[in-house]
Chain A
Amino acid sequence: MGKGGLLFNLTTEEKRVVLFVVGLALLGTGISFFFRSPGRQKAKNHFYEQSAKIDLNTADHNLLLSVRGIGKKLAARILDYRSKNARFTALEELKNIKGITENRYQKLKEYFLIH
């Protein structure tokens, strides 16, 4: 490091950091242009929803158990309900299951979706 300015006498480490940040910014600008069209925006959000939410009609016991607030009994009751009624047609049907109150339903519905 010389006596001169801070910007022009960068060490390798510093150069790498500056390059990384600049590269990230440029790449990011490109990507935001790509995602600007409403169709792609929609596809992206759809993908997020698909990957984060559990499909009530295909979930197995273990997957249900991993949701906060669902224990073994409730998971069994949900599966029971599904096998009796063939499939869930709406998220509200969860409220028909014993043990799911309105309050609990509001918390649970975040985690689920139905195809």
Chain B
Amino acid sequence: MRRPLVCLLLLFCAGICFASYASPPLTFIYCLAVITYMACIFLAEQKPAYIALLFITVFLIGALRYSADNKRPNRQYVLDGPLLSLKRSAQAILYRHLPPVPASIVEAMVLGEKERISPKIYRSMMKTGTVHILVVSGFNVGIVAFLAHLVLKVLRIARKARIFIIVILLIVYCLLTGASNPVIRATIMGNVFLAAYFFKREADIYNSLSIAAGVILLASPRQLFNIGFQLSFASVLALVWLYPKIRPVFRVESLRPRPLKYLGESLLVSFSAWLGTAGIIAFYFKLISPVTVLANIIIVPLAALLTLSGFTLIFIGILLPQLAQSFASVIQLLAILLLQANILLSGLPFACLSLL
């Protein structure tokens, strides 16, 4: 049972070494292999774990590749060409149908390209603590997985093949958006969940979160001191761990009528995420923004709609360019609402306190 696994593992290690020409830290690769192995055992137990192994290893190659890229920026890889042209064509669709300001916002949300976001917008979102919506993260990964699942199901693809294809698509999306920390985290977590679905077992969110953290840290340990890494994991941990803890304290369960209950719940979700990240933000940015709790329940739904419409616009732009204009006007309206809400919120008294 275990021997083919080990053979496969060695094969993959050889593959990774070959792919990275052995100059990036070799030890990490072996550590990664060990973690992969342990994860497979944990996920598969008695079953042959080829698929889980493949899921995670393919991903590791990507993660490593990109962490190595930071040291050698001019390095070209086989996948870079097609990925880049895919990204370019998506960008071209966005900028063809939208004015530059909303296009830059959607571009950051959907394609993870923050270059063209105006610094003024970025800074005002930082003040209200909603800048995380300009980053590709778990929500986007979820959308990609959901859409892929739907399309493949309509095409009547078998369950196991479907999962496999989704995993590959998630990895492609991760690399496409530049493999930043939140995407890598969300993709690894998504892959762990898919692997669990594959073996019909239940995925544990703490386990998947720690696999994600372990893989990222092994690929490049310095990430521990990266602000994005800390914020990304702190916020997820706050949502997963803190939110169920503080929920009974405020008794939102018994709130009536129902809309009030939803409002209370979203306020609490927002509050726990803020609580989890406030310390880090205060330390690095010398800012404390109490308005974040309020801002997130207004801006996150808008941003979610914007992300969804952004994806739709790109697909429509490819399939039916004649219709794209009307989808684009929804995006424009949403972008105006988003910016306006942000301006209003940052203007509130005690919105943002500077610690300097």
Contacts and interface: CB of A to CB of B under 8 A. Distances in A.
B150 interface: yes
Given A6-B154, A21-B312, A53 B118 contact: yes
A32 interface: yes
Interface of A is mostly: helix
Interface residues of A, number: 29
A4 to B, nearest CB: 13
A45 B101 CA distance: 9
Interface of B: 99-102, 118-123, 146, 150, 153-154, 308-309, 312, 323, 325-330, 332-333, 336, 339-340, 343
A31 interface: yes
10 contacts: A6-B154, A17-B150, A28-B326, A32-B325, A35-B329, A44-B336, A47-B339, A48-B100, A48-B102, A111-B118
A57 B102 CA distance: 25
A28 B119 contact: no
A67 interface: yes
Interface of B is mostly: helix
Contacts, number: 74
Nearest to A49: B101
A23 B150 CA distance: 19
B154 A25 contact: no
B289 to A, nearest CB: 14
7 closest A-B pairs by beta carbon, nearest first, are A28-B326, A52-B118, A66-B119, A31-B329, A48-B101, A32-B329, A28-B330
A55 B239 CA distance: 38
A103 interface: no
Nearest to A21: B312
A52 B332 CA distance: 14
A45 B327 contact: no
A66 B118 CA distance: 9
B100 to A, nearest CB: 8
Nearest to A110: B118
- Interface centre among A20, A28, A31, A66, by most chain B C-beta atoms within 10 angstroms, is A28
A48 B99 contact: yes
Contact of B330 (A31, A66, A68, A111): A31
A21 B311 CA distance: 11
A37 interface: no
Given A31-B333, A32-B326, A44-B336, A24 B120 contact: no
A35 B335 CA distance: 14
Contact of A67 (B119, B146, B150): B119
Contacts of B327: 24-25, 28
Contact of B101 (A52, A66, A67, A111): A52
Given A51-B120, A67-B119, A14 B339 contact: no
B318 to A, nearest CB: 14
B323 A51 contact: no
Interface in A13-51: 13-14, 17, 20-21, 24-25, 27-29, 31-32, 35, 44-45, 47-48, 51
